[in-house]
Structure 1
Amino acid sequence: MVNLTYNKNRPLPSAEELPSSDETPVDNQLQNDLPNLLLNLLALIWSGRDDWYFGVDMAVYYNPDEPAFVPDGFLAVGVNHDTGERGRLSYILWGEKYILPILFLEVISEKYNSEYGRRGRFKNRQRLEVYKLISGKYQLLESENNRVWLPEIGLALGYEKGEHIAWYREWLYWYDQSGNRYLTAEERAMNAEAIAAQERLAKQEAEAIAAQERLAKQEAEQKAIRLAERLRALGINPDEV
């Protein structure tokens, strides 16, 4: 639970006056790659929207008297995506119309004495755990087919194996309500190229069939001419046969 109680009438610090991160190095590259994949997918899914922001490894300030916390990723809805050429240095609640992020993402380290290790849950944890604040308590949401539906944003968060940045492994993806996974830009490009190749092949096959039909028609016409010539040689008018 975050403490939002403070004097909002006093001068509040700007992003330039606050650290933009905690300068703590990530435990592994997945803590960067997974959130960035979700960000890039959202940029495709919500390409026509300017009311959301997905931060990666960025400081979130909720109280000027408290230190920021820096999740691996977070999603805020109802804020401007475009904040100018420089963009955000950090996410400051009092600079974002007091809109709290709706989703925080933590890629749990699997190293010794990590978050799960300290709780003794390393071996029994689920691959994906989504918690929701209900009546002042965080409750683990049920997943179905490795996905958790999030009605607040109209998307499901889930995981499956796939290839991203030339790395085949388990990745986090966004899904629609029917369970269909949203494709990455690379997958869309590959699908478009495959469709274009199929269309080219279909066109070539249609042209080959048309050429065969023209050849068969020409052969039939030539055969009819030769037959007519033979009939005339026998004194038979082919037009009267």
Structure 2
Amino acid sequence: MATQLSEAKSQTELVISWEALPKDFKLEDEPVENTGQPLLAGALRESLEISGFIQPQMLIASNFGLCATVNGQFIAKAPDWVYVPLVNQVVGNRKSYTPNLEGDIPAIAIEFLSDTEGGEYSVKRSYPPGKWFFYEQILQIPIYIIFEPDGGLLEYYQLENKRYELKQPDENGRHWIDVMGLFLGTWQGTKEAHTGYWLRWWDQAGNLLPWAVEQIEQERQRAEQERQRAEQEHQRAEQERQQKERLIAYLQSQGIDPNNLPPLE
């Protein structure tokens, strides 16, 4: 009886260690993508980069192996988008990331749902574990987001008491992410000839963080407004000059020298 209890306990316990990706290791669950997923991931990063949010010590990546060793078996999962606030060493062209060994645990993991089931909701515990179980129980990532681009459904889960709890958005349909100091929500529109739903960032004041093409348009509009203001100022100055010339001409027609007028009291 004691042996059976011991075996049952060993099956439920998770012995987790943090080891670097073996050179010969291949991801067992390659991410399922459609053509829109890289655009979604790239758009999330683009607005952060343009706004000056991204710092060298951060790690923001897509389809990127997050690694852990559980009960002696190496595991790597590749979220569609991941944010790590602080890494120990800035390395170019990373192929993987092992939390605790190389820096912070990821603060956010995002999965984009595709037509093919990719295990985003899987709580499978046996090897290889499902993504949900891996993020929640092994890595314990504080925020897990599942986004369905076709319908714009955003599911925002927060880790509470070691379990993901679904959180409702605010009155604007957005979620405040304290670790980033930004709101995350859905936005409908077109980017790179792709029309649909997107995940977007807003700052604390509610301003949408722009993409490059939007910022270029904003700069163009500002330049046009400045041009119009300069043109209006030029027209106003020209009108004042003409009005002054007409006044001088009138005074002269009346035999009055404008230069000898008494000063106004």
What TM bracket, shorter-length normalisation? 0.7 to 0.9
Equivalent in the alignment of 1:235: none
Equivalent in the alignment of 1:220: 247
SS in 2 for 1:220: helix
Q: Number of residues paired by the alignment?
A: 216
Does structure 1 conserve the Cα–Cα contact (< 8 Å) formed by 2:20 and 2:98? no
Equivalent in the alignment of 2:16: 5
SS in 1 for 2:30: coil
Equivalent in the alignment of 1:34: 40
Equivalent in the alignment of 2:210: 183
SS in 2 for 1:131: strand
Q: Percent identity?
A: 24
Q: Could you tell me how far 1:60 is from its partner in structure 2?
A: 1.3
SS in 1 for 2:164: strand
Does structure 1 conserve the Cα–Cα contact (< 8 Å) formed by 2:152 and 2:198? no
Give unpaired runs (5+ residues) of structure 1.
230-238
What is the rounded CA distance, in whole Å, between the counterparts of 1:113 and 1:78 in structure 2?
A: 31
Change (3 A) 1:149 1:181: same
Equivalent in the alignment of 2:222: 195
Equivalent in the alignment of 2:127: none
Q: Match for 2:198 among 145, 149, 171?
A: 171
Q: Match for 2:56 among 34, 50, 59?
A: 50
SS in 2 for 1:106: strand
Q: Could you tell me how far 1:128 is from its partner in structure 2?
A: 0.4
What is the rounded CA distance, in whole Å, between the counterparts of 1:76 and 1:43 in structure 2?
A: 15
Q: Could you tell me how far 1:55 is from its partner in structure 2?
A: 0.9
Deviations 1:76-116 (A, max 9, x none): 11126841xx421122336413x22111111112x376769
Match of 1:137, as an amino acid?
R
Q: Could you tell me how far 1:117 is from its partner in structure 2?
A: 11
Equivalent in the alignment of 1:149: 176
Q: Could you tell me how far 1:207 is from its partner in structure 2?
A: 0.4
What is the rounded CA distance, in whole Å, between the counterparts of 2:163 and 2:228 in structure 1?
A: 58
What is the 5 A alignment of 1:102-113? 102-109=107-114, 111=115
Q: Which has the higher strand share?
A: 2
What is the rounded CA distance, in whole Å, between the counterparts of 1:159 and 1:197 in structure 2?
A: 30
Q: Could you tell me how far 1:59 is from its partner in structure 2?
A: 1.4
Deviations 1:149-201 (A, max 9, x none): 12222222101123322333321111223433212222122111111110111
Equivalent in the alignment of 1:100: 105
Match of 2:166, as an amino acid?
L
Equivalent in the alignment of 1:129: 155
Q: Could you tell me how far 1:18 is from its partner in structure 2?
A: 3.6
Change (3 A) 1:128 1:4: farther
Change (3 A) 1:215 1:141: same
Change (3 A) 1:115 1:93: closer
What is the rounded CA distance, in whole Å, between the counterparts of 1:74 and 1:17 in structure 2?
A: 23
Equivalent in the alignment of 1:69: 77
The TM-score with structure 2 as length reference comes to 0.70
Change (3 A) 1:191 1:89: same
Change (3 A) 1:15 1:56: farther
The TM-score with structure 1 as length reference comes to 0.76
